[in-house]
Amino acid sequence: MEIDLREKQNITILDIEGEIRRSESSDSTLHQVVKDQLEKNKKYFLLNLDKVEFIDSFGVGEILASYISTQNVGGSLKLTNISKKLFLVFQVTMLSKVFEIFNDEQKALESFSKE
């Protein structure tokens, strides 16, 4: 998994590529990246899952832990560009009712201004 960070309108966008799963070789998890940004007083996150090919239960847990950490500081974490296959995982786990999920990055960004 690779994560590139960019910022638009005070929102940190995490462009994630590859597989979100447990890995022995990875020094940094998704949740750790989010916690690092929270320590820099970033509170609004958009996870761009456009290039995510696979997610396992560990990966779902990483996204959920990131969401909870963000909520605990009064922030917000949303998802965009999620494939049908990944969306099914969120439906089965009932997390599609927890996360705001958008098909379009621009609409996701606009939704932050409504908070």
By 3-state DSSP, what share of the chain in percent is helix, strand and coil, each rounded to 5? 40, 30, 30
pLDDT tens for residues 56-115? 999 999 999 999 999 999 999 999 999 999 999 999 999 999 999 999 999 999 999 877
- Tens digit of each residue's pLDDT (9 = 90 or more) over 2-45: 999 999 989 999 999 999 988 766 667 999 999 999 999 999 99
Reported as type and span, the H/E element at residue 79 is: strand 76-80
Q: CA–CA separation, 69 vs 37, rounded Å?
A: 11
Q: What is the pLDDT of residues 40-49, one digit of tens each?
A: 999 999 999 9
Rounded to the nearest integer, the mean pLDDT of the chain is 93
**Which domains does the chain show, CATH number per domain?**
2-107 (3.30.750.24)
Q: Amino acid identity of 90?
A: F
